[in-house]
């Protein structure tokens, strides 16, 4: 089974910003600020009102070299609607085979959420482009090393409680990228301080730039 690779901007920047807002326009302003400050991959969650419309707007307004993905995809119908919009990738909170298969059939990289070794292995065997370790705060950075013993070939992206100060540690431990929401966005998704968001984004990008390179492994 050919695995769909992560899109280049996400793979090289190694940062996914999670955008979950009460209003779609705040998603757009936050994403533009992030892009201006080096965070070029954003996940718009389907819990945001007008999420898919915001995705379409961002695909038009963000500069070339940015990825716009969709998150919190729970059902096959969600997946079909997201694929129709033309998202760069899709992220789910859980492993739902028909959702993973729908995105794969549409040629969309999919990143299912999983926590246990069994869930992570299942997501990978279904053809995930990477697996979201969620909630990452429950297990900590050392969990990555424990997973790499039996599952060194699985590309992991921690999400849920990942702090800016810890981003490099997750990457040094062997993750392909990190996913940050509240610790990065702060109050920006409530119409808050975009200058502060830009400063946090620059701090994160600087930290990630010094992390160990990701070493892709294949299963023996």
Instruction: Write the DSSP assignment of 71-120 as a string of letters.
Output: E---SHHHHHHHHHHT-S-EE-SS--HHHHHHHHHTT--EE-EE-SHHHH
Specify which residues 42 forms β-bridges with.
Answer: 17, 68
pLDDT tens track for 86-105:
999 999 999 999 999 999 99
* Pick from 50, 48, 45, 105: nearest CA to 69: 45
pLDDT at 122: 98
Contacts (Cβ under 8 Å, ≥6 apart) of 200:
164, 183, 184, 186
pLDDT at 1: 67
Q: 220 pLDDT exceeds 50?
A: no
pLDDT tens track for 116-150:
999 999 999 999 999 999 999 999 999 999 999 99
Q: What is the pTM of this model?
A: 0.96
More confident: 107 or 23: 107
Average pLDDT, rounded, for the chain: 96
pLDDT at 215: 87
Q: 217 pLDDT exceeds 90?
A: no
Q: Are the C-beta atoms of 96 and 114 separated by less than 8 Å?
A: no
111/21 Cα distance (integer angstroms): 21
pLDDT at 23: 87
The pLDDT confidence band at residue 74, using thresholds 50, 70 and 90, is very high
The pLDDT confidence band at residue 4, using thresholds 50, 70 and 90, is very high
53/209 Cα distance (integer angstroms): 32
pLDDT at 24: 85
CATH topology of domain 8-209: TIM Barrel (3.20.20)
pLDDT at 191: 92
What proportion of the chain, given as a percentage, has pLDDT over 70?
Answer: 98
pLDDT tens track for 13-48:
999 999 999 988 899 999 999 999 999 999 999 999
pLDDT at 209: 97
Contacts (Cβ under 8 Å, ≥6 apart) of 95:
112, 113, 114, 119, 122, 123, 126
Segment 76-87 mean pLDDT: 97
């Amino acid at each position: 089974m050919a695995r769909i690779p992560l899109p280049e901007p996400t793979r090289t920047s190694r940062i996914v910003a999670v955008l979950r807002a009460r209003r779609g326009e705040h998603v757009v302003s936050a994403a533009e600020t992030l892009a201006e400050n080096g965070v070029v991959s954003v996940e718009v969650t389907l819990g945001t009102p007008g999420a898919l419309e915001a995705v379409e707007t961002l695909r038009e307004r963000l500069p070339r070299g940015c990825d716009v993905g969709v998150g919190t995809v729970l059902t096959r119908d969600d997946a079909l609607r997201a694929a129709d919009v033309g998202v760069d990738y899709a992220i789910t909170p859980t492993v739902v085979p028909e959702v993973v298969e729908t995105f794969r059939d549409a040629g969309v990289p999919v990143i299912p959420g999983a926590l246990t070794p069994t869930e992570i292995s299942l997501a990978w065997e279904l053809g995930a482009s990477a697996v979201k370790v969620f909630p990452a705060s429950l297990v900590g950075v050392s969990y990555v090393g424990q997973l790499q013993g039996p599952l060194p070939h699985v590309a992991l992206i921690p999400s849920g409680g990942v702090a800016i100060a810890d981003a490099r540690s997750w990457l040094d431990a062997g993750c392909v990228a990190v996913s940050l929401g509240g610790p990065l966005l702060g109050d920006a998704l409530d119409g808050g301080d975009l200058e502060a968001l830009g400063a946090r984004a620059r701090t994160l990008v600087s930290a990630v730039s010094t992390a160990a390179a990701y070493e892709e492994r294949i299963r023996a």
